[in-house]
Structures are given as C-alpha cells and as structure tokens.
C-alpha cells in the first residue's frame, strides 16, 4: 500500500471517523483506523463495535492495499502537519511510514483481518446522504444535550428520523431537549 495526498484532506477524514474510535478499550484493534486503497479511492474506517464511520477520498494514483494504524497517534501526527503539505503513506512490512517534506514517521500496524466488520444495513433500513458540513452542523446543534450518564444509556445518543424529505435530529439528557432539521436531497 502506498499513496501521496494532501494532509488537509486526510486530516478531515480522520477528524470525522475519530468519534467512532474508543479512547480506551481492552481490544487493541478498536483503537485503530483501517486504511484501505482500492478502485481509485482511499477509505478510512473506525468503529467501536456499535457504530462505524467511514470517510472516502478519491485518488487517481496509489498502490492498493490496506492496514490498521493507531488512530490517536495518526490523528496527532496529522494535526501537527500543515494542511497544504504533501504526505506519502507507505506500508512496509508491519509499519506504516509517513513522509512529509523532511519529516519521517513510522507507526506500528495490526493485521487488517483483525479489524471488526459490522453487519451491513438490512433491506428495511433507512438510507440517506447528508453532506459533511450539514452533518457537522446537525451534531453541533444537538450534541450538547446528549446524556453522558452511564445509568441512562437510552439517552446516550442522537435520535434521527426522516419525515417529508427532511432529516430531524433530537437529543436529550432528561433535562434539556435539542432538535434540528436538515433538508435532504430527494435523490
């Protein structure tokens, strides 16, 4: 696996999937991001066995392959790089080598076969596409009201529903209620 791309694009994708990667886990692979290059796109995936987030970056070049890299270490590295910097990622043996300008980093990897796969949505599942900026706005507008108490697990999330071509998001912690609406593309 080998690819060159803009640090800003990769950093944005890492920021998106980082929410699905647990900060502490007894299962080491859950702290990793899966990076895969195939069919002209780079896919970055993170999951915690409950939710899975993936981000895709279209590429015109790159050697196909996949690996699992410690997500927090990779995110910290890309947060320190200039967004306009050209970065090369290359898998050599059991290490991911990251090169940008005169900087060289080597991160450990785990076998990608160990990365958990969540079941795909069933036929009856709702499906829609929301632009990333709208998704960020949606989560920011209701995220503050999500409960963080372990005793109220049923309040630890955002409720999504689709009605009349609009996506409604709601969250509550039992004291506060937040709701926002986003227009969906009818296609």
Per-residue pLDDT of 115-140, as tens digits, reads 998 887 777 777 777 787 888 888 89
- pLDDT grade for 187, boundaries at 50, 70 and 90: low
Q: List pLDDT tens digits, range 47-69.
A: 998 888 999 999 888 899 999 99
Q: List pLDDT tens digits, range 41-50.
A: 999 999 998 8
> In the chain, where are the structural domains located?
2-114, 132-183
| Superfamily per CATH, domain 132-183 | DNA Polymerase III, subunit A, domain 2 (3.10.150.10)
**Assigned CATH class of 2-114:** alpha beta
SS (H, E, C) the chain: CEEEEEHHHHHHHHHHHHHHCCCCCCCHHHHEEEEEEECCEEEEEEECCCCEEEEEEECCCCECEEEEEEHHHHHHHHHHCCCCCEEEEEEECCEEEEEECCEEEEEECECHHHCCCCCCCCCCCCCCCCCHHHHHHHHHHHHCCCCCCCCCHHHCCCEEEEECCEEEEEEECCCCEEEEEEECCCC
For residue 131, the model assigns a pLDDT of 80
- Name which residue leads in pLDDT, 3 or 162: 3
- pLDDT grade for 166, boundaries at 50, 70 and 90: confident
Q: List pLDDT tens digits, range 90-108.
A: 999 999 999 999 999 999 9
Q: List pLDDT tens digits, range 138-165.
A: 889 999 999 888 777 778 889 988 888 7
pTM of the model: 0.72
For residue 79, the model assigns a pLDDT of 92
């Amino acid at each position: 696996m080998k690819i060159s791309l803009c640090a800003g694009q990769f950093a944005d994708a890492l920021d998106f999937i980082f929410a699905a990667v647990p900060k502490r886990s007894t299962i080491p692979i859950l702290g990793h991001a899966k990076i895969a290059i195939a069919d002209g796109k780079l896919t970055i995936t993170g999951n915690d066995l409950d939710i899975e987030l993936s981000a895709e970056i279209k590429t015109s070049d790159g050697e196909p392959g996949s690996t699992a890299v410690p997500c927090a270490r990779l995110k910290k590295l890309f947060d320190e790089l200039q967004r306009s910097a050209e970065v090369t990622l290359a898998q050599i043996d059991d290490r991911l080598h990251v090169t940008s300008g005169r900087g060289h980093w080597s991160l450990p990897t785990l076998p990608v076969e160990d990365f958990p796969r969540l079941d795909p949505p069933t036929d009856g599942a709702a499906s829609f596409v929301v632009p990333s900026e709208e998704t960020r706005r949606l989560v920011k507008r209701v995220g503050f009201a999500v409960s963080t108490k372990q005793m109220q697990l049923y309040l630890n999330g955002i409720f999504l529903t689709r009605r009349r071509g609009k996506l409604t998001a709601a969250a509550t912690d039992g004291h506060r209620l937040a709701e926002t609406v986003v227009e969906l593309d009818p296609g």
